[in-house]
Amino acid sequence: MSSNRAVAYQGPGRVEVIDTEYPTFELKDGPGVNPANVGRKVPHGVIVRTVTTNICGSDQHMVRGRTTAPLGLVLGHEITGEVVEVGPDVEFIRVGDIVSVPFNISCGRCRMCKEGKTGICLNVNPDRPGSAYGYVDMGGWVGGQAEYVLVPYADWNLLKFPDRDQALEKIMDLTMLSDILPTGFHGAVTAGVGVGSTVYVAGAGPVGLAAAASAQLLGAAVVIVGDMNEERLAQARSFGCETVNVGEGDPADQIEQLLGVREVDCGIDAVGFEARGHGHGEAAAEAPATVLNSLMDLTVAGGAIGIPGLYVTGDPGAVDAAAQRGSLSLSLGTGWAKSLSFTTGQCPVMKYNRQLMMAILHDRIQIAKAVNATAISLDKAPEAYAAFDAGAATKFVLDPNGYVNA
């Protein structure tokens, strides 16, 4: 039996690389595993040797202690791998395939999957629609920041790369297909971005940068990225975005200086539930509704707001009792009066990942450069989590089995 090592959450601010079980084609009990899933057979699954697995801002929310994630939870939902074992019910995926693993786990059989809404599959999480690897309240599927991971419904879920050598050559771009590139693209699409659009992206973390690069791919005339972190804003400028520092106050004032008007055609929230107010000092304290309310003000009447930023129903570290339940003070009247559209929830990765793969393979987007992707060993994961939490303008890519270095 092969060994396995993985990154696990060990309490607020703490992750460790641990020895853990090699995956099998049956779900076992463990931290975060839904009791109803224990013993579930996975003959339709494969085991992949991880090629790359990325640290995501959503992981960081858990590591900060801002969710109800249990101690010992193996983290990681951004996975690219090489298939090393296939279950008896797998028909089309083969050992040796290099594959992208969508972060949403879906069955391909339920009503939602058949409608293309793979982020809210009805059959993979006994508690609620939707599931993901290594994430709190998402059914307890073991995370992918590990040397090996189990992927269920493999024929349905996996995106096989057409050429192994080409895939490994472009792996730092292709690794973004599991989550942040489709998620950012989904934010741009649902915000209505098209040729000639003016776009404001709130948040210059990796998802915000991916949304900005996606808006450019979709033909936006101007993409403006807002954040308080000057290093991250510089990263946005590195591929042609305009920027505003919301630490200096209301972004509308700065947008007016750039565009001549205080509104944009399309708004994207890539911040989520740990948003802060605009300005300095006390004004920049945590205020989770700030970004959404700001986007309603900034987006033109009849426009749309894409919300790839994460919002949760359980946040023990929130600023008040309402926010701890995910209840925020939104100016919905503003949204109603302006006839704005909103799209929230997990990105249905499979809706976009093949098209985005082709854009990468044919050099239409350089997403690794846009998000400043940096490959590190599995053992350096704790350091990377700390650096990311401190605001590093870097997308950390873990290389558990030495594929990137090779």
Q: What is the pLDDT of residues 130-165, one digit of tens each?
A: 999 999 988 889 999 999 999 999 999 999 999 999
CATH 3.40.50.720 domain extents, the chain? 180-343
Residue 320 has pLDDT above 90, yes or no: no
Please tell me the class of the 4-179+350-398 domain: alpha beta
CATH 3.90.180.10 domain extents, the chain? 4-179+350-398
Q: What is the pTM of this model?
A: 0.96
Question: What tokens appear for 241 in the block?
Answer: 């975005």
Q: What pLDDT score does 317 carry?
A: 85
Highest-scoring range by mean pLDDT, 1-15, 266-280, 370-384: 370-384
CA 81, CA 102: separation in Å to the nearest integer?
Answer: 11
Per-residue confidence at 110, pLDDT binned at 50, 70, 90? very high
Per-residue confidence at 34, pLDDT binned at 50, 70, 90? confident
Residues with Cβ within 8 Å of 220's Cβ and at least 6 positions away in sequence, in order, are: 188, 193, 194, 195, 196, 197, 198, 199, 266
Residue 1 has pLDDT above 70, yes or no: no
- As a whole number, the mean pLDDT across the chain is 95
Which whole number is the average pLDDT over 25-54?
94
> Tell me, which fold does domain 180-343 have in CATH?
Rossmann fold (3.40.50)
Residue 390: Cβ-neighbour burial (10 angstroms; 0-12, 13-18, 19+): exposed
168-172, 272-276, 383-387 — which is least confidently predicted? 272-276
Which whole number is the average pLDDT over 88-94?
98
Q: What pLDDT score does 33 carry?
A: 87
